[in-house]
C-alpha cells in the first residue's frame, strides 16, 4: 500500500490532507473531530494578539443548477476568541494527536514588535509551524493586514523576515491571488526566508444579488462588502498559480496547495502541479470532516493502481509540461470523432460547433442518425467533447504525422 506520509519543509504529517485555516479549524473541539476523522494536519484559524469582532451574516454560496456551493465567499474575519483559549486548545489537540501537524495561522499589525510578540506567545504551546496570513482579502486588509501585506512584495519580505527571526519552527507564507502576478509575492516570501508558501487564499468577490430585494449576498443589515471566494470553482485559478510558482527559479520552496480541493482527484492534480500537500476548507464546510476517509482511500488506490510507492512521487510531475504558449507545437493536430453507437442524439455537439466554434459538425437529414465531424475543417478545439453528456462518446484523435514540431517562437526566429 502506498505511503501517504508527508513532509512540508520539515512539518510532518501522516497524509497530505490538511485543513486550511478557516471556520472548520476555529476551535479545539473541531480540530479534535477532524483528527479523529483522519485529517493529517490542521492550520488553526488565524490568531492575533487581540480577538476581533465578527458580523452576521458571513457566507454566500454560488450554486450552479443543482450543485450547491460550486463556489462560496465569506466576510468572516480571523478568530474572535481570546488568544489564550486558542493556545490551550492547541496544546490539548497536540497532546491527543501528536502525529498530526498543527500549524498556526497568524496575523497582526505590521510592526516587528507585534509579530515577535505574537510568535513568542504562540510558541508557549507545541506548534509544528506558522502560516503567515498575507491573504485574507476582506476586512483585515482595510486595517493594513492580510492581503494588504500580500499585495506588496516588500512588505511580504520584511514581515517574513521578522517572523523567521522569532520562530523556532518552519514558517509558511500564505499568498493572496488578488495580484497581477503571484510570482512576485512568492519570490518575496522566499527572499524573506520563508520555508514554504501556501496558495491560494480567497479571491475578491461578491457572490450575488437578491433579485427580490436587490440586496447583495451575503449582507449585513442591508449592506455588504467584498468577500473571499473559494470552493470547487476556484480550482483552475489555484492550479495555474501553484504551477507558475512551482516552475519559477526564484521561488524554489515547497508549496501547500489550496483552492477548491474536494476529492482525492483534486489533490492529485495539485501534487502533479507542484504542491507538496493540500489544504481543504469549502468541501468540509459542505460535507463535514468525514470526506477525508474517501480522500485517503482514493489517493491510496490511485497510487497502488499505478504502482507508485508514495504520494510524494506525484509532486511536480506535470510542472515541466506547463510552458509558454510560444513553445507549443503548431503542427500538432487532433480532430473530433463521434461514436455513433454511444451517441444519444442530443445534438449538443452540433449546436456548439455550429454557433460557437468552426461549423464542422454535420447533421444527417435523418434525425435518428448521429452527427458527423467534417475532419478536414475541424480545428480540434475540444468544445464538442466538452458539451457531450456521454463519457468517451467523442474522441479527440491525432491526425498529424507526429514527426514534426514547429513553435511560434521558432517561426519568429527562423524566417521561412
Nearest distance in Å: CB 390, another protein: 8
Q: Which of residues 6-65 bind another protein (CB under 8 A)?
A: 65
Q: Is 70 in the site for another protein (CB under 8 A)?
A: no
User: Is 136 a residue of the active site?
Assistant: yes
* Rounded-to-10 torsion of CA 155, 161, 163, 168: 160
Q: Which of residues 289-318 bind another protein (CB under 8 A)?
A: none
Instruction: Tell me the pairing of strands 361-362 and 372-373.
Output: antiparallel
Q: Which of residues 370-389 bind another protein (CB under 8 A)?
A: 389
| Grid cell digits, residue 104 | 498556526
CA 197 to chain centre: 12
Q: What share of the chain is helix, strand, coil (3-state, %, to 5)?
A: 35, 20, 45
Nearest distance in Å: CB 71, another protein: 17
- Rounded CA-CA distance 147/139 in Å is 10
Q: Is 346 in the site for another protein (CB under 8 A)?
A: yes
Asked if 159 and 132 count as a contact pair (C-beta separation under 8 A), the reply is yes
Asked if 300 and 2 count as a contact pair (C-beta separation under 8 A), the reply is yes
Q: Is 362 in the site for another protein (CB under 8 A)?
A: no
- 25 C-beta neighbours (distance < 10 Å), count: 29
Residue number, 97 or 350, with CB nearest to another protein: 350
Asked if 374 and 337 count as a contact pair (C-beta separation under 8 A), the reply is no
Nearest distance in Å: CB 346, another protein: 4
Using the rule CB under 8 A, which residue among 114, 300, 318, 347 binds another protein? 347
> Backbone phi, then psi, for 359, in 5-degree steps?
50, 45
Residue number, 65 or 415, with CB nearest to another protein: 65
Only one of the segments 151-159, 183-191, 285-293, 344-352 lies at the binding site for another protein (rule: CB under 8 A); that segment is 344-352
Nearest distance in Å: CB 344, another protein: 4
Q: Which of residues 205-234 bind another protein (CB under 8 A)?
A: none
Residue number, 346 or 372, with CB nearest to another protein: 346
Nearest distance in Å: CB 355, another protein: 9
How far CA 354 is from CA of 12, 64, 262, 323, 383, in Å, comes to 53, 25, 35, 31, 11
Q: Is 369 in the site for another protein (CB under 8 A)?
A: no
Choosing from 93, 122, 136, 349, the catalytic residue is: 136
DSSP character for 106?
Answer: E
Using the rule CB under 8 A, which residue among 257, 277, 350, 370 binds another protein? 350
Residues near another protein (CB under 8 A) are 65-66, 344-348, 350-351, 363, 367, 389
Instruction: Please list the active-site residues.
Output: 136
Amino acid at each position: 500500500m502506498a505511503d501517504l506520509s508527508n513532509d512540508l519543509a520539515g512539518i510532518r504529517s501522516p497524509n497530505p490532507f490538511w485543513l486550511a485555516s478557516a471556520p472548520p479549524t476555529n476551535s479545539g473541539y473541531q480540530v479534535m473531530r477532524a483528527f479523529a476523522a483522519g485529517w493529517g494536519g490542521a492550520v488553526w484559524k488565524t490568531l492575533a494578539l487581540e480577538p476581533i469582532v465578527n458580523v452576521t451574516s458571513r457566507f454566500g454560496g454560488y450554486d450552479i443548477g443543482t450543485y450547491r456551493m460550486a463556489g462560496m465567499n465569506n466576510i468572516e474575519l480571523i478568530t474572535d476568541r481570546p488568544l489564550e483559549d486558542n493556545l490551550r486548545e492547541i496544546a490539548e489537540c497536540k497532546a491527543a494527536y501528536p502525529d498530526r501537524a498543527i500549524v498556526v495561522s497568524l496575523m497582526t499589525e505590521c510592526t516587528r514588535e507585534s509579530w515577535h510578540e505574537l510568535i513568542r506567545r504562540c510558541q508557549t504551546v507545541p506548534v509544528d509551524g506558522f502560516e503567515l496570513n498575507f491573504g485574507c482579502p476582506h476586512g483585515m486588509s482595510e486595517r493594513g493586514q492580510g492581503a494588504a501585506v500580500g499585495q506588496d512584495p516588500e512588505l511580504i519580505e520584511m514581515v517574513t523576515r521578522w517572523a523567521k527571526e522569532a520562530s523556532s519552527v518552519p514558517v509558511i507564507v500564505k499568498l493572496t491571488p488578488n495580484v497581477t502576478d503571484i510570482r512576485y509575492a512568492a519570490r518575496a516570501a522566499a527572499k524573506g526566508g520563508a520555508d514554504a508558501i501556501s496558495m491560494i487564499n480567497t479571491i475578491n468577490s461578491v457572490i450575488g444579488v437578491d433579485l427580490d430585494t436587490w440586496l447583495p449576498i451575503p449582507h449585513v443589515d442591508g449592506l455588504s462588502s467584498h468577500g473571499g471566494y473559494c470552493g470547487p470553482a476556484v480550482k483552475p485559478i489555484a492550479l495555474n498559480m501553484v504551477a507558475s510558482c512551482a516552475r519559477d527559479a526564484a521561488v524554489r520552496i515547497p508549496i501547500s496547495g489550496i483552492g477548491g480541493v474536494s476529492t482525492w482527484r483534486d489533490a492529485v492534480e495539485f501534487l502533479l502541479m507542484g504542491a507538496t500537500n493540500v489544504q481543504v476548507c469549502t468541501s468540509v464546510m459542505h460535507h463535514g470532516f468525514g470526506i477525508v476517509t474517501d480522500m485517503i482511500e482514493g489517493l491510496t488506490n490511485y497510487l497502488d493502481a499505478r504502482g507508485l510507492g508514495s504520494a510524494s512521487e506525484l509532486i511536480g510531475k506535470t510542472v515541466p509540461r506547463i510552458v509558454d504558449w510560444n513553445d507549443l507545437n503548431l503542427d500538432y493536430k487532433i480532430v473530433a470523432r463521434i461514436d455513433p453507437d454511444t451517441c444519444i442524439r442530443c445534438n449538443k455537439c452540433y449546436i456548439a460547433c455550429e454557433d460557437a466554434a468552426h461549423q464542422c459538425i454535420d447533421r444527417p437529414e435523418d434525425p435518428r442518425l448521429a452527427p458527423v465531424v467534417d475532419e478536414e475543417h475541424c480545428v480540434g478545439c475540444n468544445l464538442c467533447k466538452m458539451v457531450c453528456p456521454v463519457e468517451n462518446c467523442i474522441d479527440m484523435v491525432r491526425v498529424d504525422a507526429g514527426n514534426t514540431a514547429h513553435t511560434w517562437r521558432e517561426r519568429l526566429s527562423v524566417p521561412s
